[in-house]
Amino acid sequence: MRAAADVGGTFTDLVAVDAQGAVARHKTLSTPPNFDAGVLAGLKACCGGSLELLASLLHASTVATNAILERRGPRTGLITTEGFRDVLEIGRLRYPRLYDLSWLRPEPLVERRLRLGVGERMAADGSVVRPLDERSVAAALDVLVKADVEAVAICLLNSYVNDRHEVEVERLVRERLPEAAVSRSSAVLPLIREYDRTSTSVINAYLQPVMGDYLGRLAEALQDAGSRAPILMLQSSGGVMPAAEAAELPAFCLESGPTAGVLAAAQLARKRGLDRVLAFDMGGTTAKAAVVLDGAPAIAPELELGGGISWGTRLTRGSGYLLRTPTIDLAEIGAGGGSIARVDQAGGLSVGPDSAGADPGPACYGRGGSEATLTDVSVVLGHFSPSSLLGGDMSIDAELADRAVAQHLAGPLGSDVARAADAARQVAAAELARALRAVTSERGVDPAAFTLVAFGGGGPGMAAAVADLLGIRRVLVPAGPGVFSATGLLGADLRWMATHSPLIDLSATDAVSRLDEALGSLRERCMTLAAAGGYRGADLEIESVAECRYRGQSFEIPAAVPEGGVTKRTLDTIRDRFEALHEATYGHRDPTSPVIAAVLRVSAVRENEPIALRESQERSEQQVQRRAWFQGRWRSVPVVRRGDLGRRPTPGPLIVEDYDATTVVPPGWRGSREADGALLLEASR
Amino acid sequence: MSARRRAVDPVQRELFRHAVAALVDEMAVAMVRTARSTHLKNSMDLSSALCDAEGRLIAQGLTLPLHLGSVPDAMRAFMARFGGEMRPGDVYALNDPYAGGTHLPDIYTAQPVFRGGRVIGHVVTIAHHADVGGKTAGGNGCDATELFQEGICLPPVRLMAEGERVEHVWRLLERNVRVPNQVLGDLRAQLAAGHVGERGLLALAEEHGPRRLADLGAAVLDYAAERARLAIREIPDGVYGFTDYLDDDGIDPEPIPIQVTLHVEGDRITVDFTGSGGQVRGSINCPMPFTKSAAYACVRCAMPTDIPNNEGHFRPIEVTAPEGTIVNPRPPAPVAARGLTGFRIANAVLGALAQAVPERVPAAEAGGDTGVSLAGYDAQGEPFVMLEFLFGSWGGRPFADGPDGVSSVVVNFANNPAEVIEAEHPIAIDRYEFVPDSGGDGQFRGGLAVERHYRMLAEQTTLNLRSDRRTRGPYGLQGGEPGATSSSVLVRDGERTELAGKGTTALRRGDVFEHRTAGGGGWGPPERREAAARARDRRAGKVTG
C-alpha cells in the first residue's frame, strides 16, 4: 500500500492505494503545530486502522512555507563577504506595487547584527584577490556564538566560481558551532547573482531545524504506529526526495502542496497522452495555474515566498523571500472561493485579492461574514447547492448570500441581484484567466490549444467559464478533485538534482570538453546523492538540461541536452533547441550571436511504479432540478452525481455535485464521464 | 460618472481592462528576457505600452512611472510623421527630446497593428540604451552644453518597413554607438516586446471586433479619468506651494530652484512650475514631456493604487511651465541628465502635496539622483560601458519609517548584482551596504543612504558621474530632519579625493570610486520617536551612539 499526505494550513488530504489499485480518500482538519497528528489520524482512516502494509508515505507539506510566513524559524546568522552584509535586506531594490507608498518590506530572516562580513575576496574568474582572513571569521563566530544562533548561512561573493573560501568558512563554523545547522551557498546553489544565492541559502539554513524536527517527529509517529515506511518529501521541482535529504535541503521543498497538484495534472496528461495541459487549481483564497507540455510541468528558475500574488516573473518582486531554486512554474493569483467581490466608487467591479478566508468565510456559511464572496455569488446563481456543501458537512444559507450580493454588488451597480452576481463571476473568471495567461502566452503559446485540468474545491465550478475566455474547448475534472493534489504525490518520481553555472560559450573551441566535464561532475554528484539514499545507478535515469541565452542576455531558456557523449553535434542540437524556443517566444533568432550555456542542471530520476486507480462512482437516488442562472436568464437545470453521467455527452446546462467539489457545465458545453472517472467537458460550438 | 459612455457594458470594460494590463506586462517581460545591456535587463529601465488606433495610451506595463506620461507625446510625434503612410510590419523609432522623446538614451519604438487593412492600435516600447554615442558613454553626461554633444538623435524614423529591417538606419546606429552589440541587441528586445504586443492585440481584436475594441479602449480611459477625479475630490481645495533645489548644473555653481504651485479645485489639479529656474548650460534640462510625467506620477501617488495605468488619469491634471525654464527648455538645450531634474520635480510636487494631504505623503526620498557610467576598453580591446543608477531609500512616512535601500518611488528600478557586473565588465564591486546614521531623524526615520564602491580593473576607465544632494539633504516633513547629503570619493594609491557631484573623471587600474547616496528625510519631530524604535536601530547598527 502506498499513501500520500498533503498537509495544508486548513486541511490535511490523504489518499491511499492498495496493490489492486483500490483508492481510499480522506480529508481531515490539519492539527497545527503538531501536524504529524493529523497525518497519522488520516493515514489510519485511509488504511483501515493498520499501517503495517504501508510501503511508503509520499508527502507534501506547508510546514516549511508556514515557518517562513509566520517567522517561526530559529535565530539564524549569515556570514558573507565584508561590505555585503546588507545584500539580503536590499534585495533587488524594487518595491512590489507601483505608487503604493505604504509598502513595508518583510523583515529579513537574519537580523542585521547577525549578518557579518569577513575579510576575503574571490574575483569573477575564481582567482583569489584577498585570502580568507581567519581572524575575521573567528570574530564573526564570537558574535554568533554569543547570540546563540541555531542556524548559519554562508554566502561569499563569486563563490559560484570558486568555493574554496566558503568551504573553509564552513569548516570553521562547524568547529565552533557543532550543533548548528549550516547552509553553504556553493553547496545549496552555485549560481551567479549574490542576492539570489544569499537569500536561498538563508532560507535553507532557517528551515533546516524546522524541517528536521518535523520530519523526525513524523517518522517517530509512524514507527510508533508500527510502520517502517520511508517518508519521501516532495520538492518544488516536482520530484520527491528521502526525508533525510529534505531535512538538509528544505529550501527545495517549499510550496510542495501546489506542486503536488501540478504533478497530478501531469500524470493525468501522460496517462491520456495529452501533449498540452493547463493545470488549474482553485482553492479558498488563491488559484494556481501551470503548464504541462508533453506530460512534463514547466519549470521556473525562482519563486518568491510570502509575496502574495506571484507571477513567476521578475516584474513584481520585492514583496517576499526569494528562492532561486527550480520550481514548477506556477502563477498564483488571489482569486478563490472566499475572494471578496466589491464595487468601487467609480463603478469598477473587482474580485479579490482579499479573501474572507475560512473565518468568517463566505456570507452563506452563516459565520458572520457579510461581504459577497465568489462562493456566495455561486450560491446566488444556483451553481452551488443552496442548502449544503461537502456532502452535507457544511450547511449553506442562501438568503445570506443573496443579501450580501444585493447590498455590496447589485446596489452599487444599479442592477438586479442575479445580473450583479453574474458580473462578479465573469470578473473572477477574467482574473483567473490572467493567471492562466501568465503561464501560456508569456511563453508564446496559445492557451486555446490546451486541455484544462480543473481541480481544488473551486476549480471545477469555474473551469468552463475560464476556458471560454481563453478559447479552450476541453476541460477535464478528475475524480476526487478536492484531494487531487495528494493523488499526484502517489505517482511522483524520486529525483536528485545538481546545478551549476559554468557559462560555456557554445561556439568556443573548448566547449565540447568543458560541457562534457561539467555534465560529468554534475552526474556524479547526483549519483552520490542517490547512493546516500540507498539507490543505485542502474535504476536511475539521467536528465540533463542546459539553460541557454544569447551572449549579453541575462535570462535563460532551458534546452534539453541530448543523451550520450558530448560531441560537436551535441552543441548544435542544444543551440537549435534554444533558438527554436527563442523564436517561438520572442519572434526572432540571432544567428550571429554566440549562445551561452549559462546554467546546467542534471537530475537523476528513479521512476515511481505506475498504479492504475480503480474508482467507484456515486449515483443519485432521484432526478433533481435546480433553478440556476446561465446566459442572462434563470433556467431549470439538472443536478446530478458523477456516476449518473455516462460516456455519451449530456448537454449543458448541467451541474455535477461531488463530495468535495461542484462542476458547472454551462450551456454550449457538454459533459461525459470517462473510464477513469474523470469528467470531460467539451465546448459544443 | 457623467462622462461614462453608455455604449459599453461595464462588465465588458472590466474584462478588457484586465486583458490589456496583462498584455503590456507580458511585453515588458519579453523585453527584460531578451535584453543585452546590464542596465536594461537588470535595472529594467524600460516601459511597454498599448495605444488605441488614435494613439491614445490605453495601458502601460508595471515598470516605470516616469515613462508613462511621456508616451502620449511620443505617439503624437509618430502619428504626425507617419500617420498617413503606415504599413503592416512597420516599426518606427525616435529619441529626439524635442520631437516626442525625453533624452537621447531612451529610444521609443512604435508599431502599428493592422487588421483587415486598418490600424487597430499601436504597441509602444521605451528602452534606456547603454550608449548612444556622443561625448559621454552611457548618455547621461552632465557636461554637454548642446544636444549635439549628447549622441545620435533620431527624429521619428522607420526601423522596420513591412517586416524588413531598414538597413541604413540600423547601420547608422551601429556606427554611432560604443557598444553596438548591446544597442542593437536591446533594439531587438524592443521588437520582441512589440511582437508579443501585436499578437495579443490581434487576439483581442479577434474577440471583440474592431469597433468594439475602440469603444472599450475609450471606456477604459473614461474609467481611469473618473477614478482620478474622484481621488482629486478627496484632496482639500486650495493652493499649495513648494520649492526644492538642485545643487548646480555641473557647469555653473548656483543652486537651481524647482518651484511648484498646486491649485486644487474640485476634481481638477493644476501643477504650475512658474518660478522654477531658467534653462541651464549643463544637460540637466528637463523636456516638457518628462516634466509632465513626473508631475502625473506624483499626483498619482496620492490616489488609490489600482487605477489603471493609462492616460485617462491625466485628464483632470493640467501641467504648465513657462518656456525657457529648466522644466521646459528650448532646443538645442542639452537634456541628457534630465532624469536628475525629474527626481527633483517629483520631490517638489510631493512636497506641495504634503501640505494638502499631510497624512499620506512621505518626506523626501534619496531619489535616483546618482547615475554612474564607467566606460573604456577591456584587456582584449573590446569596448565596455557599465551604466547604472544608485538608489538610497524612501523618506520617513506619516505611519512608518522609510524603508532602507529601495528604488525611487517614481522609477522602481532593480539593482545590478555585483557578480553580474564583475562577470561582464572589468570592474569589481567592493562594497554595497547601508550607511549608518544617514537617515533623517524624526518620529519616523528616513531610510538610510546606500554606499557602493567600484574598483577599476581596466588600464583606463572613464567615469561619468551624475549626482546631486551634495549641499542640501532630502527634506524632512512635519518637523523631521533632512537626510544626510551624498558624497563621492576617488581613492588612488591610498589617497582620498572628493569628487564634484557632476562630471567626468579619468580613472586608472586600481582606482576605487566610492559613492554614498543621500539618506531619506525624516517625518515628524524626533522627540516623538518611540524608544523601542531607537533601540531597534541601535541594535541593528543602523544608528550608532
Q: Quote the pLDDT of residue A441.
A: 61
How far apart CA A642 and CA A484 sit, in angstroms, is 16
Contact (CB<8Å) B185/A590: yes
Residue B71 lies in a domain: yes
Contact residues on chain B for A503, CB-CB shorter than 8 A: 423
pLDDT score for B3: 41
- Kindly state whether B63 is in contact with chain A, defined as any CB-CB distance less than 8 angstroms: yes
Structural domain includes residue B262: no
| pLDDT (average), residues B73-83 | 94
A194:B419 CB<8 A: yes
| CA count, 13 A, side-chain hemisphere, B311 | 23
Residues in B touching A158 (Cβ below 8 Å):
419, 422
Residue A309 has a pLDDT of: 43
Number of domains comprising chain B: 2
Q: What is the largest CA-CA distance in chain A?
A: 81
Give the CATH number of the domain where residue A37 resides: 3.30.420.40
Q: Is residue A359 packed enough to be buried (19+ CB in 10 Å), middle (13-18) or exposed (0-12)?
A: exposed
Mutate to test the interface with B, among A88, A98, A590 (most CBs of B within 10 A): A98
Q: Which of B11, B41, B200 sits opposite A554 (nearest CB)?
A: B41
Please report residues of A whose CB lies closer than 8 A to that of B33: 553, 555, 586
The answer as to whether B190 is a domain residue is yes
- For A97, the closest chain B residue by CA position comes to B305
Within a domain: residue A385? no
A193/B28 touch (CB, cutoff 8 Å), yes or no: no
Inform me whether the C-beta atom of residue B165 falls under 8 Å from chain A C-beta atoms: no
Asked which of B171, B198, B225 is the last residue of a domain, the reply is B225
Amino acid letter at B412? N
Closest-approach residue (CA) in chain B for A422: B11
Angle, alpha carbons B12-B14-B15 (nearest 5°): 65
Q: Has residue B255 been placed in a domain?
A: no
Minimal CA separation from A201 to chain B, in Å = 16
Contact across the interface for B301 and A99, Cβ inside 8 Å: yes
Chain Cα centroid distance, residue B62: 12
C-alpha to C-alpha distance for B279 and B286, rounded to whole angstroms: 9
Nearest CB among A91, A113, A587 relative to B540 is that of A113
Question: Of the candidates A111, A426, A587, which has its C-beta nearest B15's C-beta?
Answer: A426
* Interface check B382 vs A, CB under 8 A: no
C-alpha cell at A14: 490523504
Which residues on A lie below 8 Å from B415 (Cβ)? 90, 92-93
* Residue B249 to residue B141: CA distance in whole angstroms: 11
Position B366 scores a pLDDT of 92
Share of chain B above pLDDT 70, in %: 98
Please report the pLDDT score of residue B42 as a whole number: 75
Distance CA A220, CA A62 (A): 19
Q: Is the residue at B380 inside a domain?
A: yes
In tens, the pLDDT along B281-304 reads: 999 999 999 999 999 999 988 888
Of A347, A332, A394, A402, nearest to A370 (Cα)? Answer: A402
**Nearest residue of B to residue A83, measured between CA atoms:** B431
Cβ–Cβ contact B379 with A under 8 A: no
Q: Is B542 on the interface with A (CB under 8 A)?
A: yes
pLDDT tens column, B384-438: 999 899 999 999 999 999 999 999 988 888 899 999 999 989 999 999 999 999 9
Q: Inter-chain contact A124–B428, Cβ cutoff 8 Å?
A: yes
Judging by beta carbons within 10 Å of its beta carbon (0-12, 13-18, 19+), is residue A503 exposed, middle or buried?
Answer: middle
Show which of B225, B257, B278 is a domain's final residue: B225
Distance (Å, whole) CA B462 – CA B509: 11
CB atoms within 10 A of CB B306: 12
| CA atoms of B188 and A668, how far apart (whole Å) | 43
* Contact state of B11 with A593 under an 8 Å Cβ cutoff: no
Question: Chain A residue closest to B25 (CA)?
Answer: A315
Q: CB-CB: which of B182, B406, B428 is closest to A95?
A: B406
Contact criterion met (CB < 8 Å) for A99 and B409: yes
Which of B412, B450, B542 would you mutate first to test chain A, the one with the most A CBs within 10 A? B412
Does A33 fall in a domain? yes
Residue in A80, A94, A350 to test binding to B, most B beta-carbons within 10 Å: A94
**Average pLDDT of the residues in B511-524:** 98
Say if residues A284 and A326 touch (Cβ distance below 8 Å): no
Tens digit of each residue's pLDDT (9 = 90 or more) over A103-150: 888 899 999 999 999 999 999 999 999 999 999 999 999 999 999 999
Q: Would you place residue A318 in the very low, low, confident or very high pLDDT band (cuts 50, 70, 90)?
A: low
Q: Is B432 on the interface with A (CB under 8 A)?
A: yes
d(CA A662, CA A48): 28
pLDDT band (50, 70, 90) for residue B242: very high
Selected residue of B8, B9, B12, B26 to mutate for chain A interface (largest A Cβ count, 10 A): B26
Q: Are the CB atoms for B468 and B326 separated by under 8 Å?
A: no
Residue numbers in B near A593 (CB within 8 A): 181, 185
The pLDDT assigned to A380 comes to: 97
pLDDT at res. A317: 54
Inside any domain, residue A521: yes
Grid coordinates belonging to A192? 551567479
Set of cell numbers at residue A71:
517567522
- pLDDT per position as a tens digit, B9-49: 776 787 788 788 878 988 988 888 888 887 787 777 899 99
**Structural domain span for residue A228:** 2-69+211-253
Res. A553 pLDDT band, cuts 50 70 90: confident
In this structure, the answer to whether residues B375 and B523 fall within a common structural domain is yes
- Its pTM stands at 0.87
CA distance A192 to A596: 14
pLDDT band at A312 (very low <50, low <70, confident <90, very high): very low
Contacts with A679 (C-beta within 8 Å, 6 or more apart), sequence order:
A460, A476, A477, A642, A645, A656, A663, A671, A672, A673
Which residues in chain B have Cβ-Cβ distances shorter than 8 Å to A103? 403
Encode A129-177 in three state secondary structure: EECCCHHHHHHHHHHHHHCCCCEEEEECCCCCCCCHHHHHHHHHHHHHC
Domain carrying residue B191:
10-225
> Is residue A684 exposed (0-12), middle (13-18) or buried (19+ Cβ within 10 Å)?
exposed
CA–chain centroid gap for B123, Å, is: 19
B406 lies within 8 A of chain A by CB: yes
Number of other residues whose CB lies within 10 A of the CB of residue A41? 16
Residue A180 has a CB neighbour count (10 Å cut-off) of 22
CB contact under 8 A, A315 and B309: no
Residue A496 Cα, gap to closest chain B Cα (Å):
27
- Judge whether B286 lies within some domain: no
Q: Where a domain ends, among A606, A641, A659?
A: A606
Size of interface A-B (CB pairs under 8 A): 223
CB count in 10 Å sphere of residue A270: 17
Which of A581-590, B96-105, B302-311, B509-518 has the highest average model confidence (pLDDT)? B509-518
Question: For residue range A288-306, what is the model confidence (pLDDT) as tens digits?
Answer: 899 998 998 887 778 887 6
Q: Hey, are the CB atoms on A315 and B29 less than 8 Å from each other?
A: yes
Give alpha helix (H) positions in B234-301: 288-301
| CB atoms B22 and A104 under 8 Å | no
Residues of A in contact with B188 (CB under 8 A): 588, 590
Catalogue the E-assigned strands of B177-310.
Answer: 238-246, 256-265, 268-272
Contact A503, A596 (CB under 8 A): yes
A265 in helix, strand or coil? helix
Asked if B18 and A431 touch (Cβ cutoff 8 Å), the reply is yes
A37 within a domain of the structure (yes/no):
yes
Q: Show the cell assigned to B367.
A: 531619489
Give ipTM to 2 decimals.
Answer: 0.91
> Which of A548-552, A601-605, B140-144, B391-395 has the weakest average pLDDT?
B140-144
CATH number for the domain harbouring residue A547: 3.30.1490
Nearest-angstrom CA–CA distance, A278 and A287: 13
Burial of A107 (0-12, 13-18, 19+ CB in 10 A): exposed
Scan residues 196-225 of B and list those with Cβ closer than 8 Å to A: 196, 199-200, 223
Chain A residues touching B420 at Cβ < 8 A: 192-193, 554
**Considering the domain boundaries, does residue B310 fall inside one?**
no
Tally of structural domains, chain A: 2
- CB-based contact B419 A123, cutoff 8 Å: no
Record: contact B14-A427, CB cut-off 8 A: yes
What does chain A come to in residues? 685
pLDDT per position as a tens digit, A579-630: 998 887 777 788 888 999 988 989 998 887 767 777 667 777 788 899 999 9
Nearest CA in chain B to A121: B430
**Do residue A430 and residue B14 have CB atoms under 8 angstroms apart?**
yes
Chain A contact for B391, CB < 8 A? Answer: yes
What is the C-alpha to C-alpha distance for residues B428 and B423, in angstroms, rounded to an integer? 9
Closest CA of chain B from A435, distance in Å: 9
Cell numbers of A433, please?
A: 484567466
Q: Name the domain boundary from A253, A287, A307.
A: A253
Residue B495's pLDDT band (boundaries 50, 70, 90)? very high
What pLDDT was estimated at residue A390?
Answer: 66
Q: If you average pLDDT over every residue of chain B, what do you get? A: 92
User: Which has the closest alpha carbon to A492: A156, A118, A239?
Assistant: A239
User: What cell numbers appear for A542 in the block?
Assistant: 539521467
* Residue B344 is assigned to a structural domain of this protein: no
Contact B22 A83 (CB under 8 A): no
* Residue that is last in its domain, among A586, A606, A626: A606
Distance (Å, whole) CA B6 – CA B73? 29
Cβ separation B414–A317 shorter than 8 A: yes
Pairwise CB contact (< 8 Å): A123 & B415: no
CA-based nearest residue in chain B for residue A198: B417
Confirm if B347 and B306 have CB atoms less than 8 A apart: no
Please judge whether B417 and A193 are an interchain contact, meaning their C-beta atoms are less than 8 angstroms apart. Answer: yes
